[in-house]
Each structure stands twice: as structure tokens, then as C-alpha cells.
Amino acid sequence: MATIAAAALLAPMCVAQRSPARAGATESWQMSLEGGRSLTWERSFSSESEVKPDRGFWNKLVDIVAGAPDYRFLVRPYSVVTDSRGRILVTDPGAAGVHIFDFSQHKYKFVHRVDKDPAMLAPQCIAVDAEDNIYVTDSEAGVIFVFGPNGKFLRAIGSLRGGEGYFKRPTGIAVDSAAQRIYVTDTLRDRVYILDMQGNVVQMFGQRGQGEGEFNYPTELRLQGPNLMVVDAMNFRVQVFDRSGRFQYAVGKIGDGPGAMFRPKAAAVDSEGDLYVVDALWGIVQVFNRQGELLYYFGARGTHAGEFQLPTGLFIDDNDKVFVVDSFNRRIQEFHYSGLNNTAIGETK
């Protein structure tokens, strides 16, 4: 860790600045990068109350008499994604549901299934399709929950054909709407399943091991362009495949030098093709180029802007907004990457 910090901080390409915290003041944080690029912290949020507009004098007066509204808040957030409407969707195993933050419309919704079959127990990762339908893996229930854009339950995917039974521990998920395919990691089986939109298995790949195309507890998935990225957690790397499961390359290794990973949790790609990997134990996000070289990292353990405690989720939208699930701090931190490209390629749905 000391080696990574030294390499990143001594390089001329990046300088991080954070304003000192003052009572009543808003924090700011920015990292200056090579070639005029920059990464800027924009905000953090953790509660339904932050979505709602100012309630006005009379509503506040009622609150004094009747008590303030009982707003929902993040308990143990894990994964994050945005949809075509700009809504921010966050899974929360601690609350056994999914938070939907719609800041543009000042709306909030909590999606869950209590006392129903199947019940949502521990939602893990989340994805949306081209119609903004919501797909959520549940590691304890062993199924994939599918909800409509309005949060209405549509179905559950979990009974696999071919004698496989139910998923043991579905975790990562990604949806390719154009090809009508759903990609799912089963962490305990060390496999990636490729399903059709009805939930039938059309292909699977992977097995326990350390070689190319082999896994040791794979977790998060991410589709971007022609590539499928798989966080191979206990092999301390991210493996990149084409969409049919053919190995392309890998980034990361175990160790304490530049580019090493200890507890990778999630991955995403910005508009310039650089790969971001969040490491929960170190509390940082590392950024690699396409050759697997470490460009820089950001983050440190703490509670201020640009600091994390056990970060778990990561997503980059079409506008290069970078969302980091700061799990132990019970919040989402939102950054903006300003690169050289005018048009972001984002994630292909």
C-alpha cells in the first residue's frame, strides 16, 4: 500500500485537493490529472430526505407538532446503477431492498418483498435493461428478482434447466438488451452463466482455478462495448472477456506494489476506456489503462469527501459520473470525470 501511495503521489499526473471541513461549510474535493483531465467530487447522499424538496414553513410547523416524517436511509448499501431516466438505484442488504433516488423529479421509492414467495433477503448486485426494468441478484434467496421501472415485481429467475438446480450464490449481473442476454456470476460455483431473457441457460463458462478464464469467487460483472469484465475477487484481479466468454486479458495481482489488489469488489469503465476497480479493504479506487498499467488511484480511509470505508459498488454513467458505494459510511459518493472525449461511451445495456 505504501508503494502504491508513493507511486501515485509522486507522479506528476495527479494532485488531489480537499477543502478543510468547517462548521456549516460544504466540502469539496478535486484531483487534477494528466493532460487537463480532472476528477471532481460533486456530492454524497444517504437518505430519502435528501431527494425531497424543501417542505416549506407550514409543513415544518406540522412536523413540530406531529413529528418529522420517517424517512428511509441507507443501512448497508452494496451495488449501484443508473437508468435512462437518471435515477440512481442502490441495493441494500441491510434493509433487504432497493433504494431508487430520483433527484430530478424529487422522488424516492423503496422496492422490497416482505412475507412473499420468493422473499427478498439479501439483494446484492443490480442492473437495468433498455426498458429500465430492474434486475437484482439475491445471494441468500438464490434468485434474480425482476421489477418493472415503477418497482412492480414481475418475476424471479432461479430455477436453471439442465439439472443445475438453483443458483448457489448469484452475485454479479449485467443485461445485454440488444442480444437478449443476461450475464450472472455464481460466486460459489466459480462460473458465469449466460441466460436468455426468459431465464434459460444458453451458455456457461469458468471453473475454480487461477488460469485464464478460471475463477476464485467471482463477484461483480460489467458490460462495456464488446467486453465483459468479471471481478475475480480471490484471484485479486479483473478478467476481461468478449461477450461469448472468450478470455481477452486480465488486470491486477496480489501484492503490495502498483496495480496490486487485495479485496476488489466492483469495476467500471469511463469514456476513454480506462478501467476503475474499487478495493474494499484499502478504501480506494484504482484506475488502469487498457494495457493494465496503473494510472492513478483516489480515496483513503475516512469520512470526508473523497474518503471511503469499505467501499463495495462502482458505476460510471454515460456522462462520466462516477458513483461509489461507500458502504460502511452508509452513503453514495458521486464524482465527475472530465476527460478529453466529448462523448462518453458509458455502459452498453
In a domain, 343, yes or no: no
Q: What's residue 21's pLDDT? A: 39
- Judged on CB neighbours under 10 Å (0-12, 13-18, 19+), 227 is middle
Total structural domains in the chain? 1
In a domain, 267, yes or no: yes
pLDDT, one tens digit per residue, over 215-235 is: 999 999 999 999 999 999 999
In a domain, 297, yes or no: yes
pLDDT, one tens digit per residue, over 104-160 is: 999 999 999 988 888 999 999 999 999 999 999 999 999 999 999 999 999 999 864
pLDDT, one tens digit per residue, over 176-193 is: 999 999 999 999 999 999
In a domain, 306, yes or no: yes
In a domain, 283, yes or no: yes
Does this model's pTM top 0.85? My answer is: yes
We report the CATH number of the domain holding residue 270 as 2.120.10.30
**Residue-number span of the structural domain to which 89 is assigned:** 2-338
SS3 176: strand
Whether the pLDDT of residue 24 is over 70: the answer is no
Return d(Cα 126, Cα 93) in angstroms, integer: 12
In a domain, 344, yes or no: no
Look at residues 29, 39, 63 and name the one whose alpha carbon lies nearest to residue 49: 63
Q: What's residue 45's pLDDT? A: 97
Across-strand partners of 108? 101
DSSP symbol at 173? E
| Percentage with pLDDT > 70 across the chain | 83
- Judged on CB neighbours under 10 Å (0-12, 13-18, 19+), 309 is middle
What is the grid cell recorded at 2?
505504501
CA–centroid distance for 275 within its chain: 13
Q: What's residue 339's pLDDT? A: 86
Within the chain, where are the H helices? 2-10, 56-66
SS (H, E, C) 238-291: EEEEECCCCEEEEECECCCCCCECCCEEEEEECCCCCEEEEECCCCEEEEECCC
In a domain, 287, yes or no: yes
Q: What's residue 117's pLDDT? A: 86
Q: What's residue 162's pLDDT? A: 45
Band the pLDDT of 341: cuts 50, 70, 90: low
Q: Please say whether the beta carbons of 46 and 330 come within 8 A.
A: yes
In a domain, 63, yes or no: yes
Q: What's residue 255's pLDDT? A: 80
